[in-house]
Chain A
Amino acid sequence: MSAVFPADPRIGEILDIVAQETEVARAALLPDATLDGLGIPSLDLTHALFAIETHFDVEIPVVADQQGAEFITVGALVAHILATLDRAAAASPAFPPDLPAQTPPT
């Protein structure tokens, strides 16, 4: 596992949302950092995934990591989201992922 994220503008957007929703410093969101170690409760992760789904207008499927939690590291979380975005882009090229998302009123 690498200690730096590859250059992909979507990763920056994902990490910005995670930092905002979990109130964890953006600089601490490194690929090898564990969500437990960062003190991110599952509820905050759920809010972050909702915000990311809304931002990219995709459904991020539920997965279980090999240790039972949905995601163990920030890197695993980002990889899963990128794979979801790639699949969505391939499946429906007429609807690019930067289509304005519909946000429900809060």
Chain B
Amino acid sequence: MARRVAITGLGTISALGCGVPALLDAMATGRCGIGPISSIPTDRLSVPIAAEIRDFDPAAHFDRRQRLMLDRAAQLALIATREALAAIDLAAIDPTRCAVVLAASFGHATLDASYHALYADHARRLPPMTVPRAMPSAAASHVAMEWGLHGPCFSVASACASSAHAIGLAAQMIRAGQVDLAICGGSDASICLGYLKAWEALRVLSGDACRPFSRDRSGLVIGEAAGILVLEAEDRAMARGATLHGALLGFGMGADAGDLTAPSAAGAARAIGAALADAGLAPSAVDYVNAHGTATRLNDSTETAALHAVFGGHARRLAVSSSKSMHGHCLNAAGGLEAVVTALALREGLLPPTLGFRAADPECDLDCVPNAARRQPIGIALSNSFAFGGLNAVLALGRAE
């Protein structure tokens, strides 16, 4: 029988603050992290809002030499991992049986600065750490190095589902007995001019707020974040007296194989169904879904159709909220941050709200926990990630037993 996978560590940094307590506070009070961009000049941006990590001083976390090596994406991953591992005695675990599986996230700021220096300033040379800072596997390497972990370590690329795929793969490695502990999730430092201009070109960004499932929803808001889970074989975690935050029960994934950007209800439904089947759960067992919920017109109606297809009449009893309305769409980090949110929703019996909801949309006929958090004990929850390219990943989470 497959081993159960326990969640023994949670870590995060986002526009909602540094650390799980700040995230929980935002979930409970419905605090929104979206606002005017302050970390870069906005004069060339048509959409100058984002869910930005404010008051972030890298020097408070990393010395000068470390900062030379670390793009912001890797910095965020390390900060969240430090929190997730704070209560875990790694000395008790064989380091060759500890995995690191993170979302593949470019060092956008490093690349942006290098191209600006080269093309705009006509610099004759670029900083020597440009390549190792920018490489999408850098964050995973830095995590392995900081804790001396020698097990499998790699990064997963599936656009906005990257973190969810990373968590799902890590859980499978634990189930298979390949490793005893896995640090998984991801980070993305997306607030830089080149990347934001590229997103503007897609014409999917909202100019004012993220309003998932609302009839007047106007698009997504980019965020930056890291969300990290520590997964362990539950029997081993219990044997060493670990704190259990919850359990990773199932993982479903698949491809639309249709359109590069337009989502597919059938593809999303297949991934949701696969996660339930993997967890051995009936649809009626699910209490809450942390939706992909980007607040684009097409995503939210398509996701609603997928939920109706899988859950039938139970879809009307489900609570389905999009925490992106608070922390923005954190892209490669989204699945990691939202898995942390979902684990906290289960642990605390606290459903995060969908902020910015103003009017019901018949195409999004779900209970989206509008505008105010809800205290409600729940047993099973899903976290949906549906990425560009039609890459879908769904995680099924439960409470610690």
Contacts and interface: CB of A to CB of B under 8 A. Distances in A.
A50 B128 contact: yes
Contacts of A43: 128
A77 to B, nearest CB: 16
B375 to A, nearest CB: 47
Contacts of B126: 104
A59 B124 contact: yes
A47 interface: yes
Contacts of A44: 65
B24 to A, nearest CB: 35
A46 B124 CA distance: 16
Interface in A8-38: 23
A103 B68 CA distance: 15
Interface string B137-164: 0000000000000000000000000000
B113 A59 contact: no
A54 interface: yes
A21 to B, nearest CB: 9
B316 interface: no
Contacts of B401: none
Sorting the interface of chain B by its residue count into under 10, 10 to 19, 20 to 34 or 35 or more gives 10 to 19
Contacts, number: 39
A53 B113 contact: no
B125 interface: yes
Contact of A46 (B114, B116, B118, B128): B128
Interface string A55-72: 001010000000000000
A106 interface: yes
B128 A102 contact: no
Given A46-B128, A47-B68, A47-B128, A104 B114 contact: yes
Given A105-B117, A106-B113, A59 B125 contact: yes
B259 interface: no
Interface string A90-106: 00000000000011111
Contact of A106 (B121, B124, B127): B127
A104 B128 contact: no
Given A104-B117, A105-B117, A106-B113, A50 B127 contact: yes
B86 interface: no
A106 B121 CA distance: 13
A43 to B, nearest CB: 8
Nearest to B122: A102
B129 to A, nearest CB: 8
Interface of A: 23, 43-44, 46-47, 49-50, 53-54, 57, 59, 102-106
Q: Shortest 9 CB-CB distances between A and B: which pairs?
A: A104-B117, A46-B128, A104-B123, A50-B128, A102-B123, A105-B113, A53-B125, A102-B121, A47-B128
Given A47-B68, A102-B124, A104-B118, 6 more contacts: A46-B128, A47-B128, A50-B125, A59-B124, A102-B121, A104-B127
27 contacts: A44-B65, A46-B128, A47-B68, A47-B128, A47-B129, A49-B128, A50-B125, A50-B127, A53-B125, A54-B125, A57-B124, A59-B124, A102-B117, A102-B121, A102-B122, A102-B123, A103-B123, A104-B117, A104-B121, A104-B123, A104-B125, A104-B126, A104-B127, A105-B113, A105-B117, A105-B121, A106-B127
